[in-house]
A and B are shown apart, each in its own frame.
Chain A
Amino acid sequence: MAQSSQPTRKRKGILGALALVAIAIGLFWSLVVAPPDAYQGDAQRIMYLHLPSILTAYLSYFLVFVGSAMYLWKREKRDDLLAHSAAEIGVLFTALTIIEGSIWGRPTWGVWWTWDARLTLTAILLLIYVGYLMLRSLTEDENRAASAAAVLGIIGFLDIPLIHMSVYWWRTLHQPPSILRPDKVPWENVHPSMLTALAISFAAFLLLYFYLLSLRYRLGEMREEIKARRLGREA
């Protein structure tokens, strides 16, 4: 594996800078430009963090799913590296989603936590991927750990459709979707400034996510190279 080339480092730098700019614009739009919600008031501004962070976590677990499936099929280390890197960042964004949701729940529902179907399934999602990371760090045989983690990564992804459909299947405190509704276009339902704030925040989270993923993936590559070189010296 080659060391990160100059253009690759430059691309990472540009991605990081773009993420920073998008975060700054997103914060300004979410906290200053967007109007308060008619019912929830300013507490609704937490939505500009909550929705992008859970969507970013879903994207991350989708990449874990793809990387895991590819690893089980082709046994290529790069697929396992992708899955491992994405799982670590996915856990971060899922944990943040639960914390934001809890803080948002207090002024709107009157409680920090309730065993609502969507909350419970999201907590299970977090536990599955914390388990995925623990499995990797506690199993000594790396190939066995990668295979077992890949199976868990695929099974864990099945929780996401359940989380999405939970608001339809069970009676929950979470409302059904306001933006992506089959019967209405988004701007009929939500103020355009709120939609813009959400779009900018989502773009900022995506840029940040790919910046973090590129760093984490490269870190994994370097660790593999260190291991290979050490083994080569011992042989």
Chain B
Amino acid sequence: MGAWGFVSLAYGIVWGSILVYVVLLKRRYGDAAAELAALKSTEAISRDAEK
């Protein structure tokens, strides 16, 4: 492998891994936000029912 081969491999692995991490983190973030919103709306419904 030539010098540019090693450079491409390093840059590809680094930015590819960071991209995968960002996607996974965004997914975890989205799931938690949705779960929290669902909990809040259930609580609001329960409060309204109690009134």
A residues whose Cβ falls under 8 Å from a Cβ of B: 3, 23, 27, 31, 36, 40-43, 45-46, 49, 53, 92, 95-96, 99-100, 103-104, 106-107, 208, 212, 215-216, 218-219, 222-223, 225-226, 229-230, 233
Interface residue tally on B, bucketed by range = 20 to 34
**What does DSSP make chain B's interface, helix, strand, loop or mixed?**
helix
Q: A104-B6, A215-B25, A215-B29 are in contact. Are A226 and B14 (CB under 8 A)?
A: no
Residue of B7, B32, B43 with highest tally of chain A CB at under 10 A: B7
**A229 vs B6: C-alpha distance in the bound complex, in angstroms?**
50
User: Which chain B residues lie closer than 8 Å to A46 at the CB level?
Assistant: 6-7, 10-11
- How many interface contacts (CB-CB < 8 Å) are there between A and B? 78
Are A42 and B21 in touch, CB under 8 angstroms?
no
Which residue from B3, B18, B28 sits with its C-beta under 8 Å from A42? Answer: B3
CB distance from B41 to the nearest CB of A (A): 11
Given known pairs A92-B17, A96-B17, A212-B21, the reply for A41 and B39 (CB within 8 Å) is no
CB-based nearest B residue for A220: B32
Which of A53, A107, A208, A218 is close to B6, meaning CB atoms less than 8 Å apart? Answer: A107
Binary CB contact string for chain B from 1 to 44 against chain A (1 if under 8 A, 0 otherwise): 10110110111011101100110011011001101100110010
